[in-house]
Amino acid sequence: MPLIALTGGIASGKSTIARRLAEHGAVIVDADAIVREVQGPGMPVLDRIAAEFGDELILADGTLDRGALGARVFGDADALARLNEIVHPAVREESARRFAAAFASDAEAVVVYDVPLLVEARVGDRWDVIVVADSPAEIREQRLIELRGMSADEARARVASQVSDAARRAVADVVIDTSGPLADTLRQVDEVWPRISRV
């Protein structure tokens, strides 16, 4: 019943790796999806975000204007830290609940936590293996521009707001180079699966 952490910078290819691991039978717990849930209408986290950053971030339908919040905090280390103090504890709690549910359902499950901010959030030492999706900042910036429609300045700010590639590599048990063709990334995942699924 290994518990695997999968991390990497924005646009590093984590989702591609997670999908391939799911094809091998892993149970994926997606931290970003949990963030969206805990920031949903009526949730205490959303109320705290509004109190900290302003009611104008709440749209008419009661949902969070994620784009406006991102514009507010990315590039402002203090604001980002305040946001993380609100969001991270709720995400950790819900993630732990999902890990427990997965293992209760199947004691032999391989659970993969897709968590972009593993290093930034200092998410515990409970992992059997830490897998890092690794791609140079320039490539990730280009992906943000081409795939997500960001300006060059926005892409640079998003990448710069995260910890360095070196900091992620320093915690890695496995590094998957995602800078090349998709087939290369998938091959690396296939090669590492037997190792991480049997720890």
Nearest residue to 136 via CA among 192, 94, 178: 178
- Kindly indicate whether the domain formed by 3-193 is annotated with CATH number 3.40.50.300: yes
pLDDT for residue 160: 85
**pTM > 0.75: yes or no:** yes
Name the token pair of 161.
């707001």
Taking only the tens place, the pLDDT of each residue in 26-63 is 999 999 999 999 999 999 999 999 999 999 999 999 99
Q: Say what the pLDDT of residue 124 is.
A: 61
Q: Are 69 and 53 in contact (CB under 8 A)?
A: yes
Tens-of-pLDDT digits for all 199 residues of the chain? 799 999 999 999 999 999 999 999 999 999 999 999 999 999 999 999 999 999 999 999 999 999 899 888 877 889 988 998 999 899 989 999 999 999 999 999 999 999 988 887 766 668 999 999 999 999 999 999 999 999 999 899 889 888 899 999 999 999 999 999 999 999 999 999 999 988 7
Domain-wise residue ranges, the chain: 3-193
Mapping DSSP onto H, E and C, the string for the chain reads CCEEEEEECCCCCHHHHHHHHHHCCCEEEEHHHHHHHHCCCCCHHHHHHHHHHCHHHECCCCCECHHHHHHHHCCCHHHHHHHHHHHHHHHHHHHHHHHHHHHHHCCCCCEEEECCCCCCCCCCCCCCEEEEEECCHHHHHHHHHHHHCCCHHHHHHHHHCCCCHHHHHHHCCEEEECCCCHHHHHHHHHHHHHHHCCC
Instruction: Please answer whether residues 86 and 38 qualify as being in contact, where contact means their C-beta atoms are separated by less than 8 angstroms.
Output: no
